[in-house]
Chain A
Amino acid sequence: MIRSFVSWFAVATMLTVAGASAVSAHHGTLVAYDREKQWTAKATVTEFRYLNPHAQIYFDVKDDKGTVTHWSGELLPNPAQLIATGWTRRRAMDALKAGTAITVTVAPPRAGGNVGLVMRILNDKGEELLGAQPVPAAAPPAAARP
């Protein structure tokens, strides 16, 4: 019992923090998206790609009228970070097969269009996938100059 709790705690801690530490990309991707306008919706995975420089997820979102919109999304964690937090390629690909129902939180592009920064993915059981987590919508105050 204790052993399983420790295991759960370790994984949960890693996943929680991975979201925080995974928020910058090698090409400065953050500025392309508006995190103050992030939204959450149910979606269906059409494709998931476990690749450098960033994992990509493609998905369909259906609105109340039944209109389907296709989205492309990049994830903040790169494969190195996914590996570090236990999301191996096999595990990630199994969790996000085409047809999987998910709930996604997306920061839309400042320029408009249907390519977003995927901040969070939940499966139909409400479980967090890939460890991606929302970050503060607004930039925090800068620390004092040294």
Chain B
Amino acid sequence: MPFATAHTVSLHGAVGHLIDVQTDVSPGQVGVTMVGRADTTINEARDRCRMAIINSELDWPSTRRITILLSPADLLKHGTHFDLAVAVSVLGAAGSVPATSLAGTAFIGELTLDGNLRSVGGVLPMVLAAAERGIRAVFVPEPQAAEAAMVPDMSVIGVRSLAQVVAILRDEDVPDAAPVAPMSGARLLAWRGRERLEELDLADLLGIADARYAVEVAAAGGHHLLLSGPKGCGKTSLVERIPGILPDLTRDESLELSAIQSLAGTLEPDAGFPTRPPFAAPHHDASKASLIGGGLGVVRPGEVSKSHTGVLFLDEFPLFRSDVIEALRQPLENGEVTIARRDESVTLPARGMVVLAANPCPCGDYSSNVQHNRCFCKEAQRRDYRNKVTGPVADRVDIVRNLPPLRKKDGAADLEAPESSAVVRARVEAARARQAERYADASWRLNGQAPGPVLRDRWPLTKVGQKLIDDRLYEGRLSRRGATRVHRVAWTVADLRALDRPGRDEVDTALRLRTGEPLLLAMLRRAG
């Protein structure tokens, strides 16, 4: 039969499409045509595959007309991982491998001229997509077998060369081949940043009860948080302790995060599934592409996506470039980020909690108390800075907290030791468990991600609670967007207190959290 189909996957952001590589080998004008919106890297596959097949001592049907279709044809495709599927498809059409052996199997890998395989990026999301489309076996370059094996119920065959693939398909003895180099460079530095953050404990921080509670609520409900306060008041120390109070990733979260890491080329399959939420703290010099994502051809996830399911910390956030701040709107609002390129636009998940920190002025020394004011910024600079803090991004933040300047050492610390991260984490875990139960059949996991209309419809507040919000709305002190965010936060406050429905107190606390008003001590006490 002069016709064969091999499957592979094309990635658009984190969305994978199953691609049929169909090859027809029939008499006609000699040549190879490739159709179906392939980009340059795939067009080059013709030459790589031809040489790879010849150098693997297999038959390239050089005396006939070869037509290769990448179907669906309307989808733009790019990447070098199509090589293996193209080669196998040609061999199937030429009769070198039984065409029937290609069914239900996907092929991922780049070929070199001598017929060996090379690693490619994004294997995990590709295999995930293939699994969803009913593929049950997948050939991947050997170093990436562990990554592909993260997908449940998938039989993964790690191979080194085209000859090995052909032998397996023919059910013959597998020849030896040179090992395939892993994709990323060797890990040069044993970076310990991650571990450092896990060791920090909330028990080290005295005072700032208000901000501690805000952080607890934010962690429990996945809410975005804005901390402002003078230099040295403990913003960064507090934020660095957030990973310590976040629960371990669920299996789904872990898989999503791995898929993003795979796209970014930072996945370490040997380390197994990631279990702890990621923490990213890009510097304010960061470009839009590095924060939001971008790149030529294949889209590289930015920090907002790499911190999916974890924490994205933007310290001194008004110092970020305006276009970067503007670009944050979408991830803050929708938990995803869309990157438009010339030919396509891709959407990546970005459901981490975003934590913004801001000083009162560019130099960070401004204090409204004239006796403590050491600020030398010009009034205009301060105004520009404040405008950035209160701009559209801040409106998309659920929780706002103003930290007081560092106060006299809390001498009564022995009376009431600050809670440790473990204690807070237990409450956060319990609150998240309540949310998981409530949103079991929904597409989101946390209150911070729940769509407003659905919340109002299915999980309303008590009458008195809703009235509190409505009053503020009619007084013009709360925007519609703000009302939705207060609704979400109120649910988290209720979850932390193990209540079935947020009432007056919970809404009051949520309103205070949203507007930056000081919290009621009584509420903090009930939390702890």
Chains A and B come from one and the same complex: no
B residues neighboring A (CB under 8 Å)? none
- Chain A residues with a Cβ under 8 A of chain B: none
